[in-house]
Amino acid sequence: GLVENVQGNIFRTRVYPIQPGGKRIVRVIYQDLAQIENDYFLFHIPIYFTNILENLDISLICAHTSNHRQPEFLPNIKFNQPFINSNGKYCSELHLVNVEPLQDEQSITYMLRTLVEEEVMYDVEIDPDDHNQAYFALCYMPPFPQYNKIIATNQQTMSICILWDASLSRANIENRNYEINILKNILDIWQSNNINVNITVIIFRNIIEEPNIFQIHDKNYWSKLNQLLTNLSYDGATNLFQLSTISTSIPNITHYFLFSDCLSTISNDDPTLLNQLTTKPIWIFNANSAHEPTNFSLINYLTNTSGGNYISRDKIIAQNSAKIIIELIDKPQSRYINTDIINDTNIHDIYPSHSIILTSNSERFILVGKMSSAISAKISINFSNSNQIHRKELIIDKTNLTFENYGLLRRLYAKQMLSELIAFPEKNKQHILEIGMKYSIVNDFTSILVLETLQQHIQYNICPHPSRKTLYNDYIKYQQNKTQQESIRSQTKLTAILNLWQARCTWYDKKITDEDRTNAFKRKTSNPHDVDVHLMSRSQNRLNFRMSSRSFRTVDESATISLRSEPGILLRLESQYSALSNNVELTFNDKEHGECLDDDRSTIVHHRNTAAYGHSITLQNWDPQTPYIDKIKSTTNLQKAYQIYLDERQSYLKSPSFYFDIASYFFSKARSSISKSSSSSIDIFNKHHSISIFGIKIFSHDTH
């Protein structure tokens, strides 16, 4: 089976084929954080199904509850059975038969009384890979001041920088109209409260356009601003990281309004580039539907580090949304600063690793890290609120070895790490991959592969878990046999090489006497007459070869010169070469001459084959016969052609060939305009380097 991340919080599971008449049991394990509502935690366990279930068995175990509070089911829940306290755990079991699916949401929901303000709830869990280390997690609710009115009425001047993403992924005009309307409503409220707002609008795609300045006290400011936003052409890629230079070019900004889905398609993917931008609150507006792609990881990073918030489509189109958003903007933010280690204990890898804003909707703070499993730790958590520092000291007890290890804190720790890393996936790809592999977490770079048989474990070279004893023992036995066989093969090779080496050393160490040399010479020349004949034949062959070689080279040179004017000479040349070759007894004692002759012959044959059997391929320019290309070709004005492309794009949004044809057309126009120039950059480059290297001057056509 395979579990992989599709998009956002959507996962896909594929199971190996089921045998005819067979059955598969699929166990899916996931981890989620409870929701906070009033004074309790809410836990939702989905049990979606569409067919009648023959059996439905549900077992809920709630361990390590704070202050031993008993969990309770919500009223009017179909699937519920009271919790019973058993050995320090609260258990609830439900066994049903022939269960029909429900029309509405199918889930089990139960609640736990949550912690009160300034109460700390924490837990410690031993690291299964290193028993000297332990994971810890704590949940804390710092004191939040209560504000019942809009604070912005006391702020007479604001400087808003509107960053408007006009890339292709935001081409839905209906969604953009929602964003324009919420912007107008927010500005109208500020204007009615006599707040002076300076507005700077920056349109960006892969490049940033020049800023547009508006004043809210100008009576015609909205008509100009509305015209600017409604007449935009949404096209091209997105580069969010170029926005890092705005803080220096436009000073005194109090808030950023970023209208974007944060899908940065081209960038350096370096978080340090955004440090200057996140010094002021970033409020991100996105009216795209839930099924449309959105980079929530980068959105969370920008809002958490800057002190802003994310305004989704639901919040944008809700009633009184502008008033609610302004209240959030004006509400003082509580910020986590850092964690101090008071006693000298081994506490490390604390997350969040940087200062973040505490989200106002949950009003709780979760801190995770690693510590020594044998020593208690004393830490201090530092917060700031309304320019006041809040400090909370607490002691985290050492690991209780009697508690059962569920692995929840271990995965929560990994999840907190990933929440920081996945904001910049390309930069942190290797680290994200290592975390996914170590903690068995599905993310953008990892999937979970479920292996069942020994052959599958051998194929992927993955050792089964020791709890699967039979499969684990078979795998270990296979690996031992494999190692033993490889060792035998390696030893056999080493023995053969050693024998060869010893034989070679014995041959070199053998002492050769004069008698050995005499016997060897006698075996080669048993008859003196044969020696004289051999020497005379060798000399004669060398002489004939040199004469034939010179004659052949002369013919070869003349044939090369007249190759283009008289192709038929190649056949005559080859016949002359054959005659020369037949009249000469070639004894290639001179290896160099033999190689030259072979090279000349191969050259002649190659020329003949090229002339006689050569073919040419002509590549035609790509000219698609499509309606949209015909419309674009009907005008010679590039601006009109671009507008035709924008109009036609609505009908071909999901057609890759459409974008390829359009890009090819405009690239061809760009190349044709460049070729008309008197001297291209390539010509200038070639001219410079030809003079500097070869002393050759290249003239353009205009020189002649």
b/e for 385-420, b at 16 or more Cβ within 10 A? beeeeeebeeebebbeeeeeeeeebbbbbbbbbbeb
Number of other CB atoms surrounding residue 334 within 10 Å: 22
Q: At 534, is the pLDDT very low, low, confident or very high (cuts 50, 70, 90)? A: low
Question: Can you tell me the distance from the alpha carbon of 372 to that of 294, in angstroms, rounded to the nearest whole number?
Answer: 39
Regarding predicted confidence, which is higher, 473 or 48? 473
Number of other CB atoms surrounding residue 98 within 10 Å: 9
pLDDT at 432: 93
Q: Worst-scoring range by mean pLDDT, 138-152, 379-393, 452-466, 566-580?
A: 566-580
- Helix or strand (DSSP H, E) at 310: strand 309-311
pLDDT at 45: 79
Using one digit for the tens of pLDDT, what is the confidence trace for 606-651? Answer: 444 544 456 788 777 777 889 999 999 899 888 898 889 988 888 8
Regarding predicted confidence, which is higher, 145 or 220? 220
Which of 178-182, 193-197, 420-424, 671-675 has the highest mean predicted lDDT (pLDDT)? Answer: 178-182
Question: Can you tell me the distance from the alpha carbon of 308 to that of 214, in angstroms, rounded to the nearest whole number?
Answer: 23
For residue 17, report the phi and psi dihedrals to the nearest 5 degrees: -55, 140
Residue 1 has pLDDT above 80, yes or no: no
Residue 3 has pLDDT above 60, yes or no: yes
Q: What does the domain layout of the chain look like in residue ranges? A: 2-113, 127-146+333-427, 158-330, 627-689
Asked if omega into 82 is within 30° of 0 (cis), the reply is no
Q: Domain 127-146+333-427 is of which CATH architecture?
A: Sandwich (2.60)
Strand partners for 4 = 12
Query: What's the average model confidence in pLDDT over 200-211?
Result: 93
pLDDT at 700: 37
Q: At 226, is the pLDDT very low, low, confident or very high (cuts 50, 70, 90)? A: very high
Closest to 655 (Cα-Cα) out of 621, 629, 631: 629
Q: What is the CATH number of domain 158-330?
A: 3.40.50.410
Query: Percentage of the chain surpassing pLDDT 90?
Result: 24
Residue 354 has pLDDT above 60, yes or no: yes
Going through 343-472 in order, the beta strands assigned E by DSSP cover 348-351, 356-357, 365-372, 377-385, 388-396, 448-449
Residue 496 has pLDDT above 80, yes or no: yes
103 CA to centre of own chain? 39
Number of other CB atoms surrounding residue 367 within 10 Å: 19
pLDDT at 107: 76
Regarding predicted confidence, which is higher, 68 or 503? 503
Which of 199-208, 243-252, 434-443, 537-546 has the highest mean predicted lDDT (pLDDT)? Answer: 199-208
Average pLDDT of the chain?
78
Using one digit for the tens of pLDDT, what is the confidence trace for 651-677? Answer: 887 888 898 888 888 888 877 766 555
Long-range residue pairs from 7-12, CB within 8 A, at least 24 positions apart, any chain? 7/293, 8/294, 8/296, 11/442
| pTM: predicted TM-score of the whole model, two decimal places | 0.65
pLDDT at 334: 83
Q: Worst-scoring range by mean pLDDT, 145-154, 176-185, 496-505, 525-534?
A: 145-154
Regarding predicted confidence, which is higher, 30 or 67? 30
Query: What's the average model confidence in pLDDT over 480-490?
Result: 95
Residue 479 has pLDDT above 90, yes or no: yes
